Structure 1
Amino acid sequence: MIRVLFFSVRASRLVSALLLLQTRGRMTARELADALEVSVRTVYRDMESLGASGIPLYGESGPDGGYRLMEGHRTRLTGLTTDEAGALFLTGLPDAAADLGLGAVAAEARLKLSAALSPELRERAEQSRQRIHVDIPGWYQDSDETPRLAGAVSAVWGRQRVRIRYERWATPHEVSRTVDPYGVVLKAGRWYLVAGSARGVRTYRVSRINELEPLAETFTRPAGFDLAAHWHEYLATFDTRRFLDEAVLRLSAEAFAGIGQALEPAAARAAAESAERDADGWIRVVVPIESVERALPALLSLGAGAEVVGPPPLREKMRRTLAEMLARYEDGLPAKE
């Protein structure tokens, strides 16, 4: 088994070396060694093997030397492996590929795709890579730590039922669920597991999965289930499901102008649609909220340019919070003479 694996790895490396020479032209032994992550001595042996197998390869000595394929030669060893084919959609998303453990595989797929292109198209693809970069996470936030992601993806591919221990916002905060993993979604730098359960199709943030145990059972994926279509529908109804109440606010013109920076997009849109100007020039709006506790920090960020009119529990919570803040600052003031 070890011997078969050795030859498989070496064969893959020889193909990679050949494709590198085809796509980049002349390369020194050091450049090849760095690209293949092997020693220069290994590169010398590999080049000898390629030449002995009939590949029209020659080496040049000197400062401008290196290895080169004969003019006009193009290898047809560009067939993708199963893993490489599966990683094609990630070739432009290196961070996502790395999260899934497919960073090296996606790089290999890119190399093979590049080798299959004409020189003109290859140059265009390289220019695009140098000019367009996709950075998934939003501003001022790091990507989630997702130690259970690899296990979740493995279960998705194997159609393997899993038991998860999941931390959620509602009480009880930690629950155990047995689910059928249908797919994973990357949204704003965060990975989500979409899975079937006794309660229907549910979405779980992967970073909040504390344990993931593969079970011996497999499942049948529902006929016609489309992950992208499901996700779009999930997003379309997401705000409706989580916004369970409304808040009535009075805003100064300045606070109203900056509401998009303080509140979520759905709340900012609702404010714009419901805006009515008072006789004193302030603007009365109605915005959706999840709960009193979750609404309070965002509304406090609006500062003195905002007044909570209702509901009464939110107004009272705001009043008590501001009174406590004021008392704390007053206690820290120097005594008046």
Structure 2
Amino acid sequence: MTVDNLPLIELPIIDFGPYLDPSSTAEQRQAVDHAIDKACRHLGIFYLVNHGIPQELCDKMSVIARQFFSLPFEEKRKHKVGGEVRGYWFTTNAEDLSNIPCEGIAFHPPVNQCSNGVAPDIDPASPEARLPTTHDALGGQHSWPNDHFRAHAEELLSHIVPLKVRLLDSISNCLGLSDASRKLVQNTVPHIAFNSYSSLTKAQMEEGVSNLVEHTDPGTITILTQDVDVVALQVKDSDGKWCGVKPIPGSFVVNVGSSLNRFTGNQYVDTLHRVIHCSEKSRISMALLADPVFDVVIEPLPECPFKTDLAKFVPKTFGAFYLDQVPEDH
């Protein structure tokens, strides 16, 4: 496994400006809808430009994240919270703790086994009650490195969450979803993750080591920003070959998650991707992951006829689907 001769994939570059410009026409927004729909049906991944997120905010957050990952390992490990998703984590098979292939810190809102910690308006004594005091399915809570990190991360979230809403609006429009189906797709819980990737040695790559193993994201969509000076993210093309995703300054990479793949009856592709990083400088990425609430049943929507074998789609709640994929411990 090397990246020396890795081909670069040409992904669609979608201008999201019409969704941010109040003077844009319905036809201009429909053109955006169709471009996103086409990309989601092909490889399930595309670049998004003119998205309205200040570049200086992304750049500043990347610097702050890099400062955190530059701390001594024992300092970073103080922010491991004992859960499967939140807090600091690192590659469990890392032999050299001064050069961990992949490490990250993530922040996820409270989640109970049923409804993301929010009690519905029913009698608390009812067996169907879903109380906020229910054990959090994802374990420990947040452990912010410092107030500076938290303030900038929350500011970044405040900008990206509206973008997520508009993206899911566009997807819902092109799928022709009913109000009920639209609500299922758009009812997502956003959480943010920061990852750092150290350079792999030639020997590691020849042994088949990767910074982040090939996988699909379990949620609805992922909005990713990455360093612009190195190609490390890879996706499989339609022929099953790995290709590099070249960073484009000022863009986000958006990809379809497995939940959206199932909602659409396999019409939208949940992108298989991995990270192999061999540049001397460590790579920082930031991702907003939009996941369904835990008690939503993940199955094809009425408007989305199956494109594949029905047996692939065993209905289950997103909570069960998600926890099946999360390792017991980082």
TM-score range relative to shorter protein: under 0.3
The structure with the largest alpha-carbon Rg is 1
TM-score, normalised with respect to structure 2: 0.20
